[in-house]
A and B are shown apart, each in its own frame.
Chain A
């Protein structure tokens, strides 16, 4: 699939995606590098904040991986944070992903996602309304968002602030009549406020990847939350290791806090540090900043 060559598809072309035709202000044509989303297969837009929390990143990964495994195409804006993470995970887990850009397809923005800009050509493609050489400018991103929602069958908002670009995508999606799902969060968490208010306004709460699949009409056995995590994995761990694991959360916790945890009263400090390293090497725990540990999405399956 996919060549590095960019092609232009006008709205009158037979290849022009049907989904883009039936929206308010349809694009006159699009520039494509790689492939276009397969209209036969459902696609989900996973979107959210750029400056996401560790929790948001884990959730984006988890949903993206599970949906990719179910064969769903992941569409997003290649941005920092939730967007890029979801797309990277989709590609890594062998799924398909499509990036809709607010600049020319030759421009790698943001830099830190340079890796997926390359890989996505073999696992999907890049789509833009703008010709080669168009610089990334803030004013173009809201317009780009209407294409993200148009190409998707439903929109999954992972983390969003009260006022954000994500909200613009959502309003486009509502205008286009798409289903909206939002990952609920804590009420005081500014990064979850956007999601929670979407749910209050009628968006479906995304409690697990299955809830997204249900909206798409795909049914699987549901209900895997942190409590019923990954039995196989847990069985391999010693009781001390399990205790440490249960002290952790998706929000980063400092080493100090972990050592002082009542549940780990009987475990020596050096053991805790050793176990944390082991859990990191197993991929269950991740360190962010310095000595702040949090659970990864791996724990969810």
Chain B
């Protein structure tokens, strides 16, 4: 008897259709043989499957049994093949009818008792199967919610092997699990930190608001204890709401990484802040079985690097390509894969080693020391930061001023959402999503400036020693500021603010010369 069951193999985020084929033939010695370019954990599955079958009440006939995972030229790794192989065996034994099985896909790990255990990567698998035209996908019960987020495919969560077999034989009904992403997203969410908890810091808050509105990368500079980290932690609370598509995009990555929480989906924009000892690989992702790194885990969210100059050069340099391409390519001996990595880059740093420059009454760092500290961040990285703002030390007066109401994150988010809507409308039908995505060629079209503004730019360009790159960043940022004011035109005030936020320039760090 021969049978074939559909399943999906994942390499990073890329899915491929795999068939678990089983043949039971009468001739030869009784043996269970598994072939098909299997990684160690898949080879081991033979013993798991045999025991799980026995403990679920299935007797493996003492015949020559060959299992093949086809196509045989892609490496099979992970534990998700247990269930399809076991079902394929049961079917080859003639216990499950053949009809209809061609439109079913499945994945899951087995325990020795026959229970189906949760696996990583269910969401991308289900979405892939749906795109390939499958009608049903059998997943472990633990993953049913995550899988249910995919529409137009029935997702069946099974608790154990026997249940799966019963279901496929038509002896037991299992309701497909369904999850309305929209409904989940509509539920109001609590954020850990809110901007209303930060006293004062108006300039800093405003800078962050502008950065988030146009998805500009931001660098926060300030002395120790000035609240840089606290402010950055509030960023998620003002990010625009997730759309359904974005929610699924992020959830797919988290599914592959096995980082989905109990709710089964990622419902908030991620905020990832790796410690400064992080390795380049952990940031970029990788491993022999490619896993998404911090840049992908912060997809459609925020990647926050605190104490930026303390990161190793290698780790920082690896950020350049994903910041440019919005995805990251990982090449390993086993092959290469691509993860999405479209994040808002936020970083915080001190202005010098001791943290108090240019307050000379407290900072005694020499100019070369200050320069050396800054030069730990390479120019190409600085070139990718549109906005830099100062965090000011809070004095006692500010802390005491309780009577003044601070703006809540919800209010700021309202303005951000408006600005994002304006951008959405403006860039309809183009690849551009946010002002930060504007390429140099687009600037003329989307950021036109009048004569007065041109004049201001020209003067600033020569007097403040701006670079051409800085000029383009200023235009992009001014566009966002104009959007925040619901203004079609960029005026001189918008430009002045954008110039005040311009990225750091090592040459002029010590004031003009």
Which residue of B368, B456, B492, B500 contacts A255 across the interface (Cβ within 8 Å)?
B500
Is B493 in contact with chain A by the CB < 8 A criterion?
yes
Contacting residues of chain A (142-189) with chain B, CB-CB under 8 angstroms: 188-189
Given contacts A274-B493, A287-B464, list 16 more A-B pairs with CB under 8 A: A57-B511, A80-B367, A190-B361, A191-B361, A255-B203, A256-B200, A256-B392, A257-B392, A260-B398, A269-B202, A283-B463, A287-B508, A288-B358, A289-B358, A289-B509, A290-B221
Is A10 in contact with chain B by the CB < 8 A criterion?
no
Q: What residues of B have a CB within 8 angstroms of the CB of A53 in the complex?
A: 358, 360-361
Q: Which residue of A lies closest to B494 (CB)?
A: A270
Q: Which residue of B lies closest to A255 (CB)?
A: B203
Contact between A256 and B201, CB atoms less than 8 A apart: yes
Is B206 in contact with chain A by the CB < 8 A criterion?
yes
Contact between A191 and B500, CB atoms less than 8 A apart: no
Which residue of A88, A191, A260 contacts B360 across the interface (Cβ within 8 Å)?
A191
Contact between B390 and A254, CB atoms less than 8 A apart: yes
Q: What residues of A have a CB within 8 angstroms of the CB of B277 in the complex?
A: none
With known contacts A53-B360, A269-B206, A254–B510 Cβ distance under 8 A: no
Contact between B497 and A273, CB atoms less than 8 A apart: yes
Contact between B511 and A50, CB atoms less than 8 A apart: no
Contact between A256 and B390, CB atoms less than 8 A apart: yes
Q: What residues of B have a CB within 8 angstroms of the CB of A270 in the complex?
A: 493-494, 496-497
Is A240 in contact with chain B by the CB < 8 A criterion?
no
Contact between A289 and B351, CB atoms less than 8 A apart: yes
Complex Cα spacing A87 to B459, Å: 27
Contact between B202 and A259, CB atoms less than 8 A apart: yes
Is A52 in contact with chain B by the CB < 8 A criterion?
yes
Is A112 in contact with chain B by the CB < 8 A criterion?
yes
Q: Which residue of A lies closest to B398 (CB)?
A: A260
The tally of residues in A whose CB lies under 8 Å from a CB in B reads: 42
Q: Which residue of A lies closest to B497 (CB)?
A: A273
Contacting residues of chain A (176-230) with chain B, CB-CB under 8 angstroms: 188-191
Is A249 in contact with chain B by the CB < 8 A criterion?
no
Min C-beta distance of B397 to chain A, whole Å: 9
Q: What residues of A have a CB within 8 angstroms of the CB of B183 in the complex?
A: none
Q: Which residue of A lies closest to B481 (CB)?
A: A270
Q: Which residue of B lies closest to A274 (CB)?
A: B496
Complex Cα spacing A271 to B491, Å: 12
Which residue of A188, A271, A281, A288 contacts B493 across the interface (Cβ within 8 Å)?
A271
Contacting residues of chain A (31-51) with chain B, CB-CB under 8 angstroms: 50-51
Contact between B358 and A291, CB atoms less than 8 A apart: no
Contact between B492 and A292, CB atoms less than 8 A apart: no
Is A276 in contact with chain B by the CB < 8 A criterion?
yes
Contact between B357 and A289, CB atoms less than 8 A apart: yes
Is A299 in contact with chain B by the CB < 8 A criterion?
no
Interface string of B388-424 (1 = CB under 8 A from A): 1110100000100000000000000000000000000
Shortest Cβ-Cβ A-B pairs, 5 listed: A53-B360, A256-B392, A274-B496, A291-B390, A288-B511
Contacting residues of chain B (341-363) with chain A, CB-CB under 8 angstroms: 351, 357-361
Complex Cα spacing A188 to B510, Å: 23
Contact between A274 and B358, CB atoms less than 8 A apart: no
Complex Cα spacing A290 to B510, Å: 10
Q: What residues of A have a CB within 8 angstroms of the CB of B202 in the complex?
A: 256, 259-260, 269
Contact between B496 and A292, CB atoms less than 8 A apart: no
Interface string of A249-281 (1 = CB under 8 A from B): 000101111011000000001110110111011
Complex Cα spacing A275 to B359, Å: 23
Q: What residues of B have a CB within 8 angstroms of the CB of A57 in the complex?
A: 511
Complex Cα spacing A178 to B266, Å: 76
Contacting residues of chain B (417-452) with chain A, CB-CB under 8 angstroms: none
Interface string of B481-513 (1 = CB under 8 A from A): 000000000001110110110001000111111
Is A54 in contact with chain B by the CB < 8 A criterion?
yes
Complex Cα spacing A42 to B497, Å: 47
Min C-beta distance of B73 to chain A, whole Å: 55
Contact between A254 and B392, CB atoms less than 8 A apart: yes
With known contacts A291-B203, A291-B500, A277–B460 Cβ distance under 8 A: yes
Contact between A290 and B497, CB atoms less than 8 A apart: no
Min C-beta distance of A95 to chain B, whole Å: 18
Is A73 in contact with chain B by the CB < 8 A criterion?
no
18 contacts between A and B (CB under 8 A): A50-B366, A51-B365, A54-B360, A57-B511, A189-B361, A254-B203, A255-B500, A256-B203, A259-B203, A260-B398, A270-B493, A273-B496, A280-B463, A280-B464, A283-B463, A287-B464, A290-B388, A290-B389
Complex Cα spacing A188 to B366, Å: 20
Which residue of B351, B359, B459, B508 contacts A281 across the interface (Cβ within 8 Å)?
B459
Contact between B203 and A286, CB atoms less than 8 A apart: no
Is B267 in contact with chain A by the CB < 8 A criterion?
no
Min C-beta distance of A183 to chain B, whole Å: 14
Is B204 in contact with chain A by the CB < 8 A criterion?
yes
Is B56 in contact with chain A by the CB < 8 A criterion?
no
Is B66 in contact with chain A by the CB < 8 A criterion?
no
Q: Which residue of B lies closest to A112 (CB)?
A: B367
Complex Cα spacing A287 to B513, Å: 11
Which residue of A252, A271, A277, A287 contacts B359 across the interface (Cβ within 8 Å)?
A252
Complex Cα spacing A255 to B500, Å: 9
Complex Cα spacing A287 to B357, Å: 13
Which residue of A269, A286, A292 contacts B390 across the interface (Cβ within 8 Å)?
A292
Contact between A290 and B493, CB atoms less than 8 A apart: no
With known contacts A54-B511, A292-B390, A277–B499 Cβ distance under 8 A: yes
Most chain B CB within 10 A, of A81, A276, A281, A294, is at A281
Min C-beta distance of B435 to chain A, whole Å: 18
Which residue of A88, A256, A273 contacts B204 across the interface (Cβ within 8 Å)?
A256
Complex Cα spacing A112 to B359, Å: 21
Min C-beta distance of B349 to chain A, whole Å: 10
Q: What residues of A have a CB within 8 angstroms of the CB of B500 in the complex?
A: 255, 273, 276-277, 291
Q: What residues of B have a CB within 8 angstroms of the CB of A255 in the complex?
A: 203, 390, 392, 500
Min C-beta distance of A189 to chain B, whole Å: 5
Min C-beta distance of A187 to chain B, whole Å: 11
Q: Which residue of B lies closest to A50 (CB)?
A: B366
Is B364 in contact with chain A by the CB < 8 A criterion?
yes
Q: What residues of B have a CB within 8 angstroms of the CB of A56 in the complex?
A: 360
Contact between B511 and A287, CB atoms less than 8 A apart: yes
Q: What residues of B have a CB within 8 angstroms of the CB of A54 in the complex?
A: 358, 360, 511
Complex Cα spacing A88 to B504, Å: 25
Complex Cα spacing A274 to B453, Å: 12
Q: What residues of A have a CB within 8 angstroms of the CB of B460 in the complex?
A: 277, 281
Q: Which residue of B lies closest to A88 (CB)?
A: B513
Complex Cα spacing A277 to B27, Å: 89
Contact between B366 and A51, CB atoms less than 8 A apart: yes
Q: Which residue of A lies closest to B361 (CB)?
A: A189
Contacting residues of chain B (214-245) with chain A, CB-CB under 8 angstroms: 221
Q: Which residue of B lies closest to A283 (CB)?
A: B463
Contact between B358 and A252, CB atoms less than 8 A apart: yes
Min C-beta distance of B220 to chain A, whole Å: 9
Complex Cα spacing A112 to B494, Å: 34
Contact between B364 and A51, CB atoms less than 8 A apart: yes
Complex Cα spacing A247 to B16, Å: 66
